[in-house]
């Protein structure tokens, strides 16, 4: 069973993503801050991380830098999940090294397809 770490500070968004993933048979780990997300990624080495960009404290781009700098987590694919859909935001997110980008509000079909593709590519 694939394990997906969700790093999201909005409770409604967390619940939506968690419920959709669990219905599809994925196991989920949850963090409301980047710092907690990094700790969970280091402890559990999930198959995929879904990272919000706007987080309290450290943001998602900074968190990605920490994950990529650590040999234990550098290989984990990370998808940015964010409401920042302006062209310049998208460029920043892509240049930061995220493996993919999903805009909010989430299109469930596209979301699940991106998740499936990332996990299959990792196998």
pLDDT at site 85: 67
Question: Does residue 88 have a pLDDT over 90?
Answer: no
| pTM greater than 0.85 (yes/no) | yes
- When pLDDT is cut at 50, 70 and 90, the band that residue 67 belongs to is very high
Per-residue H/E/C for the chain: CCEEEEECCCHHHHHHHHHHHHHCCCEEEEECCHHHHHHHHHHHCCCEEEEECCCCCCCHHHHHHHHHHCCCCCCCCEEEEECCCCHHHHHHHHHHCCCEEEECCCCHHHHHHHHHHHHHHHC
Q: Tell me whether residue 8 is exposed, middle or buried, using C-beta atoms within 10 angstroms of its C-beta: 0 to 12, 13 to 18, 19 or more.
A: buried
| Rg of the chain taking only CA atoms, in angstroms | 13
Question: Does residue 105 have a pLDDT over 70?
Answer: yes
Question: Does residue 52 have a pLDDT over 90?
Answer: yes
72: tokens are 């234990």
């Amino acid at each position: 069973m694939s394990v997906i770490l969700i790093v999201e500070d909005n409770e409604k968004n967390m619940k939506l993503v968690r419920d959709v993933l669990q219905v599809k048979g994925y196991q989920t780990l949850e963090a409301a801050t980047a710092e907690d997300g990094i700790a969970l990624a280091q402890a559990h080495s999930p198959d995929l991380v879904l990272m919000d960009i706007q987080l309290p404290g450290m943001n998602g781009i900074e968190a990605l830098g920490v994950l990529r700098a650590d040999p234990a987590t550098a290989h984990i694919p990370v998808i940015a999940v964010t409401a920042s859909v302006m062209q310049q935001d998208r460029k920043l997110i892509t240049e930061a090294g995220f493996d993919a980008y999903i805009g909010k509000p989430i299109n469930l079909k596209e979301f699940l397809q991106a998740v499936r593709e990332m996990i299959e590519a990792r196998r």
